[in-house]
Amino acid sequence: MPLDPRAVHIYTDGSCYRNPGGNSGCAAIVQYPEHLGRDDELIVDFGCSESSNNRMELMACIKALKWIRDSSPWPDVSHVQIVTDSCYVKDNIPRANGWRKNDWRNQHNEPRENFDLWKALLSAYQKVGMPVRFEWTQGKKTPILKSIDRAAKEAAKRGGPHLDRGFKRGTVSRSLVKGAAARFPANGQMAVIRPYRKTLMRKEEKIRFDLFSEESGIFVQSCYAYASPSVAAELHRQHGYRVRFNDSPRYPQIVEILEEVAVPNRIIP
């Protein structure tokens, strides 16, 4: 991670207990260059009763950008480096402008989550008034990285008094399969699913579900696909359904519920 010793460095982090939907928080600490002779300073300390980890990572960056706009310039400082350990932020910052031009959808028309915060981040970046670069770091290996990790966790543990007004909790239970949900490879097939989380997007809902194998009698994978509001309303958490998908592996959609079927609601040993 290349850090310029004459730049202002801002370390950001987000945290969420029981992600998503639990107490959440984010923090940012500024580290001034040596020639300014100023101590490290906590510039963001945000806690709320419910949000998600990714939203808190974004929120920390947005608030850091607004702080730069309000606090700069500094003598002999030409730019700022914002340091994050979030792969979600790092991977998607280069894509966000494209999403905005495409009504917050990717090149395959798949809707993007947290578009409200991505929109706010791009707006804050345009108004910041000086060059800003985002840098990514892995782990908590240095004292400053340990400090920002601790500050974000303390804000999340505290919760409140703030609100993440853009967070839409949806309906949530837990997957019976380990690992993050993967995009379902839709090719017009039928499958048996057990929905465990629904997230309201702009014009559709994102359905996370466990994929059930009738042949082996076990859940084999956690996946996601999208559904219209009318279809999503009929998909209840922890119930089993035989559904039909569209033929679009990069933008999978549940287009029809064929029948409700019995599936286990626990992991079968």
Q: Is 136 left (phi over 0), alpha (psi -120 to 50) or beta?
A: beta
Range list of H helices, 102-182: 115-126, 143-158
Q: Quote the mean pLDDT of the chain.
A: 94
H or E stretch covering 93:
helix 87-101
- Count of CB atoms situated within 10 Å of the CB of 106: 15
From first CA to last CA, the distance across the chain in angstroms is 45
3 state DSSP class of 209: strand
Read off the pTM.
0.90
CATH ID of 8-158, from 3.30.420.10, 3.40.250.10, 3.40.50.620, 3.30.1490.20: 3.30.420.10
d(CA 30, CA 78): 15
Domain ranges of the chain: 8-158, 171-261
Share of the chain above pLDDT 90, in %: 88
Residue 169 is predicted with a pLDDT of: 74
Residue with more model confidence, 51 or 265: 51
Q: Which pLDDT tens digit goes with each residue over 188-222?
A: 999 999 999 999 888 899 999 999 999 999 999 99
Q: Which pLDDT tens digit goes with each residue over 117-172?
A: 999 999 999 999 999 999 999 988 899 999 999 999 999 999 988 999 999 877 67
d(CA 122, CA 127): 9
Fold agreement (8-158, 171-261)? no
- pLDDT band, residue 34 (cuts 50/70/90): very high
For residue 123, what are the contacts with CB-CB under 8 A and spacing of at least 6?
none
d(CA 178, CA 143): 32
The DSSP bridge pattern shows strands 240-245 and 24-31 to be: unpaired
Residue 247 is predicted with a pLDDT of: 98
Residue 197 is predicted with a pLDDT of: 93
d(CA 91, CA 237): 31
With a cut of 60, say whether residue 5 has pLDDT above it.
yes
d(CA 51, CA 210): 23
Class of domain 171-261 as given by CATH: mainly beta
Asked whether 226 and 251 are in contact (CB, 8 A), the reply is yes
H or E stretch covering 171:
strand 171-172
With a cut of 70, say whether residue 269 has pLDDT above it.
no
Residue 62 is predicted with a pLDDT of: 98
Mean pLDDT of 88-94: 96
Q: What is the largest CA-CA distance in the chain?
A: 69
Residue 1 is predicted with a pLDDT of: 64
Residue 140 is predicted with a pLDDT of: 82
Asked whether 254 and 244 are in contact (CB, 8 A), the reply is yes
> Whose structure tokens read 């350990």?
85
d(CA 70, CA 151): 22
Residue 267 is predicted with a pLDDT of: 64
Residue 160 is predicted with a pLDDT of: 85
d(CA 44, CA 41): 9
Asked whether 56 and 14 are in contact (CB, 8 A), the reply is yes
d(CA 162, CA 49): 8
With a cut of 80, say whether residue 58 has pLDDT above it.
yes
Asked whether 210 and 224 are in contact (CB, 8 A), the reply is no
With a cut of 60, say whether residue 223 has pLDDT above it.
yes
Q: Which pLDDT tens digit goes with each residue over 224-255?
A: 999 999 999 999 999 999 999 999 999 999 99
